Amino acid sequence: MPALLYLASQSPRRRELLTQLGVAHELLLADAGEDAEALETVLPGETPDAYVQRVCALKADAALQRRIGRGLPDAPILTSDTTVCLGGDILGKPADADDAARMLAALAGTTHRVLTAVTVVSALGQRHALSISHVTFRAMSEAEIGRYVASGEPFGKAGAYGIQGRAAEFVARIDGSYSGIMGLPLFETATLLREADLRF
């Protein structure tokens, strides 16, 4: 039996969250020849909100071409993209330890936004949603930031932290969607999947 849903994401958190919803899914990942990172280039003057939605839609387009190119059975495709922003600045995945420490120092003692866009492509068309959450970090010492960076957890994560891991101790307040901050807002995702006529 084909999957009820294709997930075009390498994130184990997104897989866990879909499983939590009870949605059967298969991964539809990029081929070695695809330049997935190129999709995440920020355009000049682009706002974080516009950026995250554009990148998510591009990922969906690429995943649809991938499914067709591989001759896979037709089923809805889900893509998601998460961006952390402080003011108008997008904090992507840290390039190295120094970059991670810089981002965390900027976030310490402030409130930032976590934007997660979701796109579902199906025979009924493309549907989009955007989850916006506000996260407040307590003040953090340089030593605390150094220990967290040394744990390796910040790497590969927007804003250099994962809320479901050790960074939870830095979070003083959340206003929004916890699952959205993790990378897949379940309320919005469930709504889009039902609109795509997916039964779960």
Mean pLDDT calculated for residue range 125-150:
97
Task: Using only the alpha carbons of the chain, give its radius of gyration.
Answer: 17
Segment 30-86, tens digit of pLDDT? 987 777 777 888 999 999 999 999 999 999 999 999 999 999 999 999 999 999 999
Helical packing angle, 97-107 and 142-150, nearest 10° = 140
pLDDT of 122 above 90:
yes
- Distance (Å) of CA 121 to CA 55, 76, 80, 181: 14, 6, 12, 22
Tell me if 78 sits within 8 A of 5, measured CB to CB: yes
pLDDT of 1 above 50:
no
CA atoms of 39 and 58, how far apart (whole Å)? 7
Provide the pLDDT for residue 40. 85
Q: Is residue 4 very low, low, confident or very high in pLDDT (cuts 50, 70, 90)? A: confident
The pTM for the full model equals 0.93
CA atoms of 108 and 92, how far apart (whole Å)? 16
Segment 99-111, tens digit of pLDDT? 999 999 999 999 9
Which of 26, 55, 17 lies closest to 38 in space, CA to CA?
55
Provide the pLDDT for residue 57. 96
pLDDT of 200 above 90:
no
In the chain, the N- to C-terminal Cα span, in Å, equals 15
Q: Known catalytic residues?
A: 81
**DSSP, res 77:** E
Provide the pLDDT for residue 3. 59
Which of 171, 89, 88 lies closest to 137 in space, CA to CA?
171
pLDDT of 6 above 70:
yes
CA atoms of 87 and 105, how far apart (whole Å)? 15
**pLDDT > 90 fraction of the chain, expressed in percent and rounded:** 90
- Distance (Å) of CA 131 to CA 34, 152, 189: 27, 27, 10
CATH, range 6-195 = 3.90.950.10
Provide the pLDDT for residue 103. 98
Provide the pLDDT for residue 161. 97
Provide the pLDDT for residue 93. 92
pLDDT of 2 above 80:
no
